[in-house]
Amino acid sequence: MAVQELFPGTQVTIGPVIADGFYYDFARKEPFTTEDLNKIENKMKEIVDRDEKTYREVWKRNDAIEHFKKKGEIYKAEIIENIPEGEDVSLYFHGDWHDLCRGPHLSSTGKIGKYFKLTKVSGAYWRGDSNNEMLQRIYGTSWSTQKELDDYLNRIEEAEKRDHRKIGKEMDLFHFREESPGSVFWHQKGWSLFQKLISYMRMKQEIGGYQEINTPEILDRSLWEKSGHWEKFGANMYTSTTPDEKVFAIKPMNCPGCVQVFNQGLKSYRDLPLKMSEFGKVHRYEPSGALHGLLRVRAFTQDDAHIFCTEEQITEECLTVTNLILEIYKDLGFEDVILKYSDRPELRVGDDQVWDKSEAALLEAIKATKLEYSINKGEGAFYGPKIEFVLRDAIGRDWQCGTLQVDLNLPDRLGASFVDSDGNKKVPVMLHRALFGSLERFIGILIENYSGKLPFWLCPIQAIVIPISSDFDDYAKQVNSQLKKVGLSSEVDLKNHNLNYKIREHSLTKVPMLLICGKKEVDSNTVTIRRLDSKKQETMDLKKFLQKYSALNKAPSI
């Protein structure tokens, strides 16, 4: 209403309530500017002050269409045209302004209250379809008290402080650059974190009976045509044409490669379930607007695995995978996990009977976990239904990470088979699973969850040894090399700066422990521990320290 009073000729479309506020889409030739936002906000306050009564009227559908068409509101008219013939519609009026709404509405504009703020403008497609024209959306937030509004704004600020792009820069973990948008340049510290996660997962998978393999990054186009990826995702695949004019694709997924390993040599039913894992780096040409730090990239490493098994083994294998995923999330500090089940999408490969079978099997498995789950209709992969594992972070945000998919299509398309106990060849079932999904993305989530203050066993630098003055450099170096010998990641800081300076510097990069060495420590063969965010000091015998912290240098479940 405020918008139309200020900018006559602008059409309103829809304006629903969302978490923490609302938005409203408008059709107008000129874009709204930030100053417009201020003007609109002031006008809104004015309308609230006017405290106009609103009232509801029920109209005949066709009368309402006529009414909005006459006013030039073609979008509103279109919405009503989509309401079935014969149904009545409700209109809300205040002053001489009319809106279409299922209701209910507040009884007067004064009831809106003053605790709102327009936050941002953006483009949005009419009816959420990128083939339609783009409208202009104004977002706002609204609360019933000033305090709630302030709390909300603080929450946003808190999330900004945790932004992994900012912390990643401060902690010198990684960077991005124009030469390869959406691909990470990992620095030493970030790569160390990356490797720690991988070796942790290797250990978990080793225990779980997986065999780790590795397959080519570049595979002939024909393989992707066979698997169905070329048809469905060809537009988002990187390709490479060799000097002899052959077309190869840089793998966007690991599964076709993994099936090739399965296919090499005869497999017997005695080999099943066969679990093959791969830390495969995949490339996907994501739309430029989708890129977002580590959370959405064009090149990433999947902690992928494919389990080849019989139909009878599906439920048990799915359960095992689910438990492994939950255990791993717990080790990393995420206990709040939600499951989402997605069934067949419209665009898919395979017969409906096959889909019936895989959906039933996965559903049985998810029920066997006894965990709660929600259902996403039509959101499955093109080759099979899936479970997604969504974890909730320290400030209540949800992140979709792990996935588990039952696939009765690709093994057949790619010619996988095993010899069953009756001597006949059969096509195995393939389960696709990823624990974190993308290592890159998961590291982004970890950074935001912990604000960069990672669990000790994952810290790229777990301790820095600081001599009080250069007289103690030798002792400090000696302590550092002993830490390294027991497998701790440490550094020694011999720079020509005083202690205060060094403590500040390393605290800002979130090193959990600083080991101070001066005369006292040299004489008694000890170190003084200065923990991040704690002024309390603790002096400990060096041997004891090495024992204690090398024991703590691993995931809780190991």
Partner RNA sequence: GCCCUUGUAGUUUUAAUGUUAAAACAGGCCCUUGGUAAGGGUCAGUUACGAGUUAGAUUCUCGUCGAGGGCACCA
List the catalytic residues. Answer: 255, 284, 302, 304, 306, 386, 432
Interaction of residue 470 with RNA, rule CB under 7 A: yes
Tokens 């390709």 map to which residue?
Answer: 239
- Interacting span for RNA (CB under 7 A) from 85-93, 116-124, 184-192, 273-281: 116-124
Tokens 């791969």 map to which residue?
Answer: 278
Assess contact for 190 and 173: CB atoms under 8 A.
yes
Out of 123, 378, 415, 487, the residue judged to bind RNA by CB under 7 A: 123
User: Residues 170 to 189: which contact RNA by CB under 7 A?
Assistant: 176, 178, 181-182
Rounded to 5 degrees, φ, ψ at 264 are -75, 120
Which residue's CB is nearer to RNA, number 55 or number 501? 501
Interaction of residue 436 with RNA, rule CB under 7 A: no
Out of 4, 54, 90, 122, the residue judged to bind RNA by CB under 7 A: 122
Tokens of 284: 């996907």
Interaction of residue 125 with RNA, rule CB under 7 A: yes
- Interacting span for RNA (CB under 7 A) from 6-14, 204-212, 292-300, 307-315: 292-300
- Interacting span for RNA (CB under 7 A) from 71-79, 108-116, 131-139, 541-549: 131-139
Run of H or E including 319: helix 314-331
Q: How far apart (Å, rounded) are the C-alpha atoms in residues 463 and 458?
A: 12
Least distance (Å) from RNA to the CB of residue 254? 9
Interaction of residue 243 with RNA, rule CB under 7 A: no
Residue 224: closest CA among 261, 253, 245, 244: 253
- Interacting span for RNA (CB under 7 A) from 115-123, 201-209, 314-322, 333-341: 115-123
Contacts of 115 (CB under 8 A, 6+ apart): 142, 143, 144, 145, 146, 148, 149
Which residue's CB is nearer to RNA, number 365 or number 410? 410
Q: How many residues bind RNA (CB under 7 A)?
A: 70
Least distance (Å) from RNA to the CB of residue 175? 8
What is residue 112's DSSP assignment? G
Contacts of 389 (CB under 8 A, 6+ apart): 322, 325, 326, 329, 337, 338, 339, 400, 401, 402, 403, 404
| Burial annotation 339-378 (CB, 10 A radius, 16+ → b, else e) | bbbbbbbeebbbeeebbebbbebbbebbeebeeeeeeeee
Interaction of residue 468 with RNA, rule CB under 7 A: yes
User: Residues 491 to 530: which contact RNA by CB under 7 A?
Assistant: 495-501, 503-505, 507-508, 514, 516, 518-521, 528, 530
Interaction of residue 287 with RNA, rule CB under 7 A: yes
Give 349-412 as a DSSP string: -S-HHHHHHHHHHHHHHHHHTT--EEEETT-SBTTB-EEEEEEE-TTS-EEEEEEEEEESSHHH
- Interacting span for RNA (CB under 7 A) from 143-151, 285-293, 353-361, 456-464: 285-293
Assess contact for 239 and 247: CB atoms under 8 A.
yes
Contacts of 231 (CB under 8 A, 6+ apart): 225
Least distance (Å) from RNA to the CB of residue 505? 7
Tokens 């005949």 map to which residue?
Answer: 60
- Interacting span for RNA (CB under 7 A) from 7-15, 107-115, 146-154, 228-236: 228-236
Interaction of residue 121 with RNA, rule CB under 7 A: yes
Assess contact for 284 and 252: CB atoms under 8 A.
yes
- Interacting span for RNA (CB under 7 A) from 74-82, 109-117, 287-295, 542-550: 287-295
Out of 44, 64, 80, 124, the residue judged to bind RNA by CB under 7 A: 124
Which residue's CB is nearer to RNA, number 71 or number 120? 120
Interaction of residue 236 with RNA, rule CB under 7 A: yes
| Residue 403-432 contact track with RNA, rule CB under 7 A, x = bound | x-----------------------------
Q: How far apart (Å, rounded) are the C-alpha atoms in residues 264 and 551?
A: 42
Assess contact for 140 and 116: CB atoms under 8 A.
yes
Contacts of 86 (CB under 8 A, 6+ apart): 61
Which residue's CB is nearer to RNA, number 147 or number 161? 161
Give the bridge partners for 388, in sequence order. 340, 403
Interaction of residue 293 with RNA, rule CB under 7 A: yes
Interaction of residue 157 with RNA, rule CB under 7 A: no
Cis peptide before 16 (omega within 30 of 0): no
Least distance (Å) from RNA to the CB of residue 235? 8
Which residue's CB is nearer to RNA, number 320 or number 342? 342
Least distance (Å) from RNA to the CB of residue 140? 12
Assess contact for 363 and 352: CB atoms under 8 A.
no
Interaction of residue 532 with RNA, rule CB under 7 A: yes
- Interacting span for RNA (CB under 7 A) from 197-205, 311-319, 483-491, 532-540: 532-540
Least distance (Å) from RNA to the CB of residue 232? 7
Least distance (Å) from RNA to the CB of residue 213? 18
Tokens of 493: 């800081």
CA neighbours within 13 Å on the CB side: how many for 208? Answer: 27
Interaction of residue 130 with RNA, rule CB under 7 A: yes
Least distance (Å) from RNA to the CB of residue 389? 13
What single letter denotes the amino acid at residue 227?
S
What HEC string does 242-268 produce? Answer: CCCCCEEEECCCCHHHHHHHHHCCCCE
Out of 8, 9, 86, 128, the residue judged to bind RNA by CB under 7 A: 128
Interaction of residue 253 with RNA, rule CB under 7 A: yes
C-alpha distances (whole Å) from 484 to each of 1, 55, 489 are 67, 74, 6
Least distance (Å) from RNA to the CB of residue 383? 7
- The residues binding RNA (CB under 7 A) are 31, 33, 120-125, 128-130, 134, 136-137, 139, 165, 169, 176, 178, 181-182, 229, 233, 236-237, 252-253, 284-293, 296, 381-382, 403, 468-471, 495-501, 503-505, 507-508, 514, 516, 518-521, 528, 530, 532-533, 535, 537, 539
